[in-house]
């Protein structure tokens, strides 16, 4: 089975609306019901990635928030470990965060979904990313994205999006906690459309001289299955 999640991420931060706008496709192929391989661009936070990071294919140029035209590619593997009321998979990713200079990290964790009822579930994907190159500059990171999903009628899924992430060194002084809402509508067996709005660090440590609500992003989502 082939699937894809294509994200159009738009920065709405204070004084930086549309700077940048980026396109980040995640492509997956399920070899069996237990093994999935992926070529990913959204990074460790998935569709909660802050738009200001300018992930993957950046569309607005260096004068409008793009550090590079193309970066943040990853190679992803998931191996199913448990199926039932809670589904668990071992999750590993090799990320190439930059090509010039060349920066790589290896992320390892466990992805899963807890099904509380037929209509309510919690997706979680905690991982530790260890820098493999230029460790004097690139920090080891902890990522814990969380998505509480509520089925609102057969085709509609509402999501409360949050989590926590930051550098392992000095985590208490630099952690970030986004808070957002998402909506995904199933169109047919092959396509979903979605929309996300997030405050990218509403509840985390506040950078000096900034307002917690200043960092914002909007994302449009297309899921494809075949």
For the stretch 69-84, pLDDT in tens is 888 899 999 999 999 9
Residues in the chain: 226
Q: 189-211 as b/e, with b when 16 or more CB fall inside 10 Å?
A: eeebebebebbbbbebeeeeeee
pLDDT one-digit tens code per residue, 159-193: 999 999 999 999 999 999 999 999 999 999 999 99
Contact 195, 182 (CB under 8 A): yes
Evaluate if residue 223 carries a pLDDT over 90: yes
Please state the pTM of the whole predicted model. 0.94
182: domain range?
2-225
Give me the CATH number covering residue 130.
Answer: 2.40.160.40
Q: How many structural domains does the chain have? A: 1
Place of tokens 């990320």: 95
pLDDT one-digit tens code per residue, 40-98: 999 999 999 998 876 789 999 988 988 888 888 999 999 999 999 999 999 999 999 88
113 strand-pairing partners? 87, 123
Residues near 162 by Cβ (< 8 Å), separated by ≥ 6?
146, 177, 178, 179, 180, 203
């Amino acid at each position: 089975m082939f699937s894809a999640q294509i994200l159009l991420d738009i920065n709405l931060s204070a004084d930086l609306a549309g700077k940048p706008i980026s396109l980040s496709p995640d492509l997956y192929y399920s070899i069996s019901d237990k093994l999935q391989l992926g070529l990913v661009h959204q990074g460790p936070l998935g569709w909660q990635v802050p738009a200001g990071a300018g992930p993957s294919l950046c569309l607005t140029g260096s004068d409008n928030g793009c550090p590079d035209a193309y970066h943040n590619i990853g190679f992803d593997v998931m191996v199913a470990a448990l199926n039932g009321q809670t589904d668990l998979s071992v999750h590993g990713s090799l990320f190439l965060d930059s090509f010039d200079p060349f920066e790589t990290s290896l992320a390892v964790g466990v992805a899963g979904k807890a099904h509380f009822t037929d209509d309510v579930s919690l997706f979680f994907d905690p991982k530790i990313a260890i820098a493999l190159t230029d460790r004097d500059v690139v920090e080891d990171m902890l990522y814990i994205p969380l998505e509480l999903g509520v089925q609102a009628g057969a085709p509609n899924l509402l999501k409360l999006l949050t989590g926590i992430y930051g550098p392992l060194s000095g985590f208490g002084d630099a952690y970030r906690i986004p808070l957002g809402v998402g909506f995904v509508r199933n169109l047919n067996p092959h396509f979903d459309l979605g929309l996300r709005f997030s405050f990218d660090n509403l509840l985390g440590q506040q950078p000096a001289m900034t307002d917690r609500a200043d960092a914002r992003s909007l994302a449009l989502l297309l899921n494809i299955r075949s």
